Chain A
Amino acid sequence: MKTREEALSRLGASVGVEFGVNGVRRRVGVEGRVTLLDWLRDELGLTGVKKGCDQGACGACTVLVDGKRVVACLMLVAQCDGREVTTVEGVAGVGEAGAVQDAFVRHDAFQCGYCTPGQIMSAIALIGEGRAGTREEIAEFMSGNLCRCGAYPRIRDAIVDAAGGEVG
């Protein structure tokens, strides 16, 4: 291990991290134990990233890291060095909505809305993965995003629509 790095990162000390968030380059010093979820919310005010279970079970904190969907609650900011992070705030211009967001509105694909940003980020990744072909496929590959209001049928409708399919 490099002694310089070790010295920089003593117990509770700051770790240097350089990474992108929604297209903006960030150079920060952050304590090793800070999760990406807490940092995005508390330091950048990106409160679209929701804290649900905080243990990787609910998917409310889903963001994209280098284009892949992950849960931000089980990732340290320190692990994001050199990566590009995308949150729901970064999928469209300010005041605009992306295609998946539009589809969620059109299909009323939420009730309380708490899980919605995570659902949208997961759905964007799902479509990119080519896994939005059928309702069954969508159900399986969206199963990491829980909706305690039970809006699943409309969430699936919105995803089918956004992916260019026929909403039955």
Chain B
Amino acid sequence: MGPFTYVRAVDPVEAVGVVSADPGAAFLAGGTTQLDLMKDGVLSPEKLVDITRLPLRGIARTGTTIRVGALTTMEELAADPTVAVRVPFVREALLAGASVQLRNMATIGGNLLQRARCRYFRDPSVAACNKRERGSGCAAIDGVQRMHAILGTSPHCVALHASDVAVPLIALDALVHTRGTDGTRTVPLTGFYLPPGDTPDVENVLRRGELITAVEIPLPAERTRTHYLKVRDRASYEFALTSAAVAVELDGTTITGARVALGGVGTVPWRAWDAEDVLRGATVGRDAFREAAEVTLAGARPLPGTAFKVELAKRTLIRALETVTGAP
């Protein structure tokens, strides 16, 4: 890790001011992505503003939403009783993501901003990476492809968004509260991430120095059942090959409400709007689930090395829907 100026922030407004004014500055929260990428030489900020002492921690229930301070750790959020009872798939996704050690460090704000796991992005000895340097090319498209995205890709980038918890959060229409130099604003998570297009280095709508202060999780109706299914190369502590977050409301065997998102397949956490349209009003069963899966992956653009993910993602979604509805 190269040298940098370390600054311990004591006030959110000042922290935002420092990073906004200095192109060489970055925030430091849990550090599990930031320090890792600095060791690898992918990031080399001249100044790190440590925000971990800011009063942005804790979980508050307010009526029909849960407001989660951005510095709340993954372990803390997973342990929240309201999360466990009302949106258990958020808890499942948190516990399926990373190890306990990392979950004790990683914050919910940082989780949403985690960088791609693409091995070409993470290896500065590879010159071609449009995410590291716009216009330099993409070594991943012709490289080892197994962990890349199949939805939302562009000819310039196929890097996957690897967050687990962002998948149920985007299904729930979570809101991201931020503070910038112009004050505070609220961005829906569904509009927070930007697909790579021809600027893969721009990953979200945050402006320089804009800080996530809280994530707001709307609670679905009490009778909603949820489930997060993650498929991976080993049983624990591994990134998703594919995953599915589903939340459904049933009236008998009729699906009256459905929220669906996929992980492991998109350049951004993938909200499956078309699947929701198929499922709403449908009868619980393999026919509707298969159709929902087909429409979701209809736009997939796999590489030879990711072709297996298309059917795997469909089956992951079908299995998740079977589990959550108790379908035979």
Contacts and interface: CB of A to CB of B under 8 A. Distances in A.
A125 to B, nearest CB: 7
Interface string B67-96: 000000001000000000000000000000
A134 to B, nearest CB: 14
A35 B1 CA distance: 10
Interface of A: 1-2, 5-6, 9-13, 15, 31-33, 35, 54-56, 59, 62, 68-71, 74-76, 78-79, 81, 122, 125-126, 129, 139-141, 143-145
Interface string B35-61: 110011000001011101000000000
Given A12-B3, A122-B100, A143 B237 contact: yes
User: Lowest 9 A-B CB distances belong to which pairs?
Assistant: A144-B99, A32-B6, A143-B236, A12-B3, A143-B237, A68-B104, A33-B1, A71-B101, A9-B6
B8 interface: yes
Contact of B7 (A6, A35, A139): A6
Interface in B1-42: 1-10, 14-15, 18, 28, 31-32, 35-36, 39-40
Contacts of A31: 3
B293 to A, nearest CB: 28
14 contacts: A1-B7, A5-B8, A9-B5, A9-B7, A10-B5, A11-B5, A15-B8, A33-B3, A68-B75, A78-B6, A78-B8, A81-B8, A140-B236, A143-B236
Contacts of A9: 5-7
Contacts of B8: 5, 15, 78, 81
A1 B5 CA distance: 13
A9 B50 CA distance: 12
B31 A76 contact: yes
A156 to B, nearest CB: 13
**Contact-residue bracket for chain B:** 35 or more
Contacts of B48: 32
B117 to A, nearest CB: 11
Interface of B: 1-10, 14-15, 18, 28, 31-32, 35-36, 39-40, 46, 48-50, 52, 75, 98-102, 104-105, 235-237
A150 B32 CA distance: 26
Contacts, number: 103
A144 B7 contact: no
Given A1-B14, A11-B46, A144-B102, A76 B6 contact: yes
A31 B5 CA distance: 9
Nearest to B76: A68
A69 B104 contact: yes
B100 to A, nearest CB: 6
B2 to A, nearest CB: 7
A64 to B, nearest CB: 10
Contacts of B99: 59, 143-145
Contact of B39 (A15, A54, A59): A54
A122 B236 CA distance: 16
A1 B31 CA distance: 20
Q: Which of A6, A33, A141 has the most CB of B within 10 A?
A: A33
Nearest to B52: A79
